[in-house]
Structure 1
């Protein structure tokens, strides 16, 4: 029986590596979004700084492994088999839950995930033990106060972080304005002093304060002289900031990079337990069992887990290296960062979320509050404040989502709030704090205007909802897994190991497939560059790509609709319906991006070509409406098992369909290549097929009037198909015309 525990511990250690990857993918947003969003340095430079913080933080880990050992359960009441079951259930659930959120690009809390998984598995195991021993109680078997503290801290940290980000960023913007370099000589010293002192305090208290490598005497000296050290640090860094400013050094960039290092270090030092705490606790359990001579694992009680952990530095170093590799290579990490940066973006861009009723209510309520406040403050005060928030004067790096002032506030304030949590012994989640500070600061900066607020609030609500879902999903899922493992024994454990391996492989393959189908490089460049001429060149290319894709999608769906009608293939028709809905959502996003790009193009070109641009966009919309009008009656007809489409209609219409498909393909090729030498002839061909369809429609209407015993349902369906095909060709002719003139022909 001992061999199975070797397998479990080995699997947990392997799973720890995957957990480090998915955990870093999720938590990288905590310390990278500000530096990346403000473009303070090259992406590689930001990664190097963050990697240094992660590596040092991992090696100087604050000995937080105890939460996995006895933070939730009371291990002295559990035997080896029960503890191994709990640990395996926790790791299996943890990897799957975190990978699910990362694949969706939604940040969540690894701390909450771990705590509630431990709570769920321990709760189920406690109930099972209580069923066998009436003297045991939940209070004896569980450390329930810890979980309650985490829940309270979640609510508190979300609200406080958002409000603090809103207030502090508003004050910072009033002081600096968007044209922050104008009077920097008067303010940068104080701001730099506060920022650097806060970050130094954060590094020593949060990052190094509880490290086992810091000598106890030195730790006591820091504790006794904290105030003096902070005052000295403030004076020195204030003077240093002024000096650097006069030497033409960008102090904000240094603050942002220092903040990135500090948060990365604290993340690695304090959140490492979320990834390797459980596997190391399992390893220690097995070592203790073997050291005491083995025996019956169901009789060996895990009293040793009640003691504090002593993690070997080699394990911590290996974990740090794995986190650095994950940080540099994980596409999912970059996906999560994109969510946070997009929701904080100063200008308009590709909104990742749609609208929601909650967001609409919140936006409408805030507008009403704003109207009330306008009547309270004098007009002169409002005018002066508005002048400080003049976004036309904004100084941002090319491609940045927001400026360096906001990036500095995000990092420094996040660090201070986490320090407060540590001082008050509240287990604040770094994810919650950093994300909500970023959202509050973006709201204060008026990044959420009336055009984008409803989408971004929907995004924030979705992310927050995901956080709280994490707790429930982790608790229930882990409890269920633990229950199955308990009754299924080692067979169930092995089955779950194989299941997790398959799910991870499948998730990786699915994410790579999704990434391969989403190529928005041109969109990012369009929104990132400030050169109007380059914007126009990119927009022209993007326009061609989009219209080519539209025509090819229309061609595929049109063919699928007719074939589905002919063969009564309900699945194919439903698949086509879902495809049309997905394409419509994509088109809405594309249209927003292209409208922003058109406004940023050279004025003379934009004025000349905008009519044709909007005509093309209208054609795209008309395609969707027309295809829907064509599909819906056919889908209803087939779904209700009405009489099949007449062979007469099929044979009569198929040559028309082949000609339509050929024209759609030719039009797509012409737009894609930019070769309009055959443009005039193509227009005549389109006019000809429209005339043919008109004649076919008249012929069919006459047939409906004259023939006896005709099935009016299928006859009406055929008439609708002819009419919508005619509209399809008419729309394509207009799109050809719009593309021709938009290309400047």
Structure 2
């Protein structure tokens, strides 16, 4: 009997390690976004500082572990057997949930997931107990720590609003003080700014955090409590003087100092507050096992008879477990490639300049932006012109944040400092009150609030950024619902299925994680092979040619494969594969959209004064867009024809299309290789044979006309067949126009006379 629970403990701690890796990859990067987005330091330095903060924060997290034991449910109402089922259901659900949301690319919160998983599993187990006993489901409230659970849930929801508002307010006044040209102002106001920031960090991160450390003497904590205002006042004076000395004597940028210490403090607050999400449940399970084992050895109490009232009291967490968990978190920070990618969403949503927007507008974001614009116009109308002018001067941004690349800062040092200090303080307040505030919620919403106050969301980008925020917040609510439902379901399955159910669910978790790893690795490889234009590298015609050749090769290769697959799947009347082709075409369209979004920045950054480079770039996009539109029409119409259950094309029609496909495949293979190798001198040979392909398509059109007059009886077949042939001709035409453009360029390189081809008119 004891062996079963030992195996469950082993499984729980194995799940905890997995949860640490998956959760940190998804969550911990939040405290790195400000330092990374501002480019204040190298990634190596940022990770070193963050690692130290995580290690220290792990030690500070002991007190908040109580949330897993008694924060959501009343352990004294459950037997040891039932407690272990609750904990097992929670951990399996957490691993599967995080992996599921990561696979979908949706942001989630480990704090929300663990809270609602504990609540769902406890409610499920309580419902089973009530069903077996009285049948009065109103008694469920007797099993749940309703006051504490309500306090935690309200705290999490309030954190969203509070973090956004405080972030916006603090950033607004910080910008009024420093403006975007803060280099001069920082000499005078920087010392006070540094003093206030560092004092706040000292009090909320270190002094409040010390209360959770078991080896700190009680007398020392009492001294801090009695002399709080003296410590704050002394800290303010001391850190203001230190800040001034750092700027005057060592010529250090105080904002960078704040960012460095703020990164440490936020990492510390993250580990101190979020560690419970990953190891709180296994530790509570281990402590439950120790309590039952002692009772079993002394009185022979069975797992189904021993109430877990012992968890209701104070139970300290062994420091070696906290240190071990901190070590896993630090290792994950350094080696998780997935963690490096998560930061992009938050950074891009708060970027000061334009960026390739990830989220599409929705009716909510459009309504919010429209209402905000209206309110802004009202405020502007009632504000004196002199005041408005003064404020606008403070927000005049002459710095360049427009380049969407790895070297250009997304925002400046002032905003990064505010992000870190405000988020760190809010999280630390929650930690000191033993409320597991979501670091994802707090850091994200502070960053969004500071972005709004900093006017990073202008009329060009607001609708996309607000849509991103709406999607992220919506994902959090989905997390809560799924976490509650899944944990409740798994608890019931484990209760009735026993060890067999646990084995199956653990196998499901292992399979899910392995599958996620394979998919993520494959996606990384695809992204590495399909890099879009990097506008920072495009400054001359030669730069455009070198950078665009491989992108064109990739697009032509994608069009080639899509054409062959569509013809083949249409011949077999394979609806499912045609549907996959229809979805896959969106990838090509997104590549073209990405190139089109860069037109403005390319024209702004081009070094040459003539229109030659601009014209050349726009013509490339035009021909590529025509090609993708043609293959999109071919793919979608083929799917719609089959999906509507129309008659399949006749054998001769499919045979003719396959003959065309073979010629197009041969043609596109050669073109793909030309651009891959940048051997433009070979273009002449390809163009010489273009008329043969045009003649082939024209003959098939005439052939179909004869069929209609003699044997063809299906108007839908004729409509599809004509459409395929005409779009094939347009596809070849666009391709040949692109080749002719590059042939002219190749000649222009030798004659130093770039062709003056006119821009298309459509």
Shorter-chain TM-score tier:
over 0.9
Bigger CA drift: 689-698 or 145-154? 689-698
Could you say which residue in structure 2 is the equivalent of 1:497? 506
Could you say which residue in structure 1 is the equivalent of 2:342? 336
The 3-state SS of whatever aligns with 2:268 is helix
Task: State how 1:449-464 maps to structure 2 within 5 Å.
Answer: 449-464=458-473
Task: Indicate yes or no: 2:4 matched with 1:4.
Answer: yes
Task: Indicate yes or no: 2:612 matched with 1:604.
Answer: no
Task: Indicate yes or no: 2:634 matched with 1:649.
Answer: no
> What runs of 5+ residues in structure 2 fail to find an aligned partner?
750-762
Give the alignment partner of residue 371 of structure 1, picking from 377, 401, 407.
Answer: 377
Task: State how 1:210-249 maps to structure 2 within 5 Å.
Answer: 210-246=212-248, 247-249=250-252
- 8 Å contact from structure 2 (residues 365, 466) kept in 1: yes
- 8 Å contact from structure 2 (residues 656, 700) kept in 1: no
Bigger CA drift: 694-703 or 376-385? 694-703
The 3-state SS of whatever aligns with 1:677 is helix
Could you say which residue in structure 1 is the equivalent of 2:573? 568
Could you say which residue in structure 1 is the equivalent of 2:310? 304
Taking the aligned partners of 1:498 and 1:656, their CA distance within structure 2 comes to 49
> What runs of 5+ residues in structure 1 fail to find an aligned partner?
none
- 8 Å contact from structure 2 (residues 40, 413) kept in 1: yes
Q: Per-residue deviation at 1:219? A: 0.6
Could you say which residue in structure 2 is the equivalent of 1:558? 563
Q: Structure 1 pair 290/703, CA: closer, same or farther in 2 (3 Å)?
A: closer
Taking the aligned partners of 2:732 and 2:532, their CA distance within structure 1 comes to 29
The 3-state SS of whatever aligns with 1:449 is coil
Task: Indicate yes or no: 2:592 matched with 1:587.
Answer: yes
Could you say which residue in structure 2 is the equivalent of 1:545? 550
Give the alignment partner of residue 738 of structure 2, picking from 730, 735, 738.
Answer: 735
Taking the aligned partners of 1:653 and 1:97, their CA distance within structure 2 comes to 46
Task: Indicate yes or no: 2:670 matched with 1:661.
Answer: no
Give the alignment partner of residue 168 of structure 1, picking from 160, 167, 170.
Answer: 170
Aligned length: 739
Task: Indicate yes or no: 2:694 matched with 1:690.
Answer: yes
- 8 Å contact from structure 2 (residues 126, 140) kept in 1: yes
Q: Per-residue deviation at 1:739? A: 4.5
Could you say which residue in structure 2 is the equivalent of 1:726? 729
Give the alignment partner of residue 420 of structure 2, picking from 411, 424, 428.
Answer: 411
Could you say which residue in structure 2 is the equivalent of 1:674? 678
- 8 Å contact from structure 1 (residues 162, 436) kept in 2: yes
The 3-state SS of whatever aligns with 1:65 is helix
Task: Indicate yes or no: 2:521 matched with 1:512.
Answer: yes
Taking the aligned partners of 2:473 and 2:234, their CA distance within structure 1 comes to 40
- 8 Å contact from structure 2 (residues 53, 268) kept in 1: yes
After superposition, give the CA deviation of every residue in 1:200-227 in whole Å (9 maximum; x if it has no partner): 1122234323321221111111111111
Could you say which residue in structure 1 is the equivalent of 2:758? none
Could you say which residue in structure 1 is the equivalent of 2:362? 356
Q: Structure 1 pair 739/3, CA: closer, same or farther in 2 (3 Å)?
A: farther
Give the alignment partner of residue 479 of structure 2, picking from 453, 470, 473.
Answer: 470
Taking the aligned partners of 1:408 and 1:723, their CA distance within structure 2 comes to 59
Q: Per-residue deviation at 1:683? A: 2.8
The 3-state SS of whatever aligns with 2:63 is coil
The 3-state SS of whatever aligns with 2:212 is coil
Could you say which residue in structure 1 is the equivalent of 2:92? 92
Q: Per-residue deviation at 1:565? A: 2.2
Taking the aligned partners of 1:295 and 1:650, their CA distance within structure 2 comes to 77
Could you say which residue in structure 2 is the equivalent of 1:115? 115
Give the alignment partner of residue 269 of structure 1, picking from 272, 286, 306.
Answer: 272
Q: Per-residue deviation at 1:452? A: 1.9
Could you say which residue in structure 1 is the equivalent of 2:494? 485
Q: Per-residue deviation at 1:520? A: 8.1
- 8 Å contact from structure 1 (residues 102, 333) kept in 2: no
After superposition, give the CA deviation of every residue in 1:129-154 in whole Å (9 maximum; x if it has no partner): 12233389223311022221122222
Taking the aligned partners of 2:432 and 2:87, their CA distance within structure 1 comes to 30
Could you say which residue in structure 2 is the equivalent of 1:320? 326
Q: Structure 1 pair 142/553, CA: closer, same or farther in 2 (3 Å)?
A: same
Taking the aligned partners of 1:332 and 1:599, their CA distance within structure 2 comes to 33
Taking the aligned partners of 1:420 and 1:272, their CA distance within structure 2 comes to 16
Give the alignment partner of residue 193 of structure 1, picking from 192, 195, 214.
Answer: 195
Q: Structure 1 pair 181/540, CA: closer, same or farther in 2 (3 Å)?
A: farther
TM-score w.r.t. the length of structure 1 is: 0.94
The 3-state SS of whatever aligns with 1:372 is helix
- 8 Å contact from structure 2 (residues 684, 743) kept in 1: no
- 8 Å contact from structure 1 (residues 36, 43) kept in 2: yes
Q: Structure 1 pair 716/374, CA: closer, same or farther in 2 (3 Å)?
A: same
Could you say which residue in structure 1 is the equivalent of 2:157? 155
Taking the aligned partners of 2:744 and 2:603, their CA distance within structure 1 comes to 15
Task: State how 1:54-73 maps to structure 2 within 5 Å.
Answer: 54-73=54-73
Q: Per-residue deviation at 1:715? A: 3.5
The 3-state SS of whatever aligns with 1:137 is helix
- 8 Å contact from structure 2 (residues 214, 316) kept in 1: no
User: Aligned-residue CA RMSD in angstroms?
Assistant: 2.5
Give the alignment partner of residue 186 of structure 2, picking from 178, 184, 187.
Answer: 184
Q: Structure 1 pair 438/711, CA: closer, same or farther in 2 (3 Å)?
A: closer
Task: State how 1:36-75 maps to structure 2 within 5 Å.
Answer: 36-75=36-75
The 3-state SS of whatever aligns with 2:235 is helix
After superposition, give the CA deviation of every residue in 1:535-567 in whole Å (9 maximum; x if it has no partner): 987755442222111111111111112112222
Give the alignment partner of residue 617 of structure 1, picking from 615, 621, 639.
Answer: 621
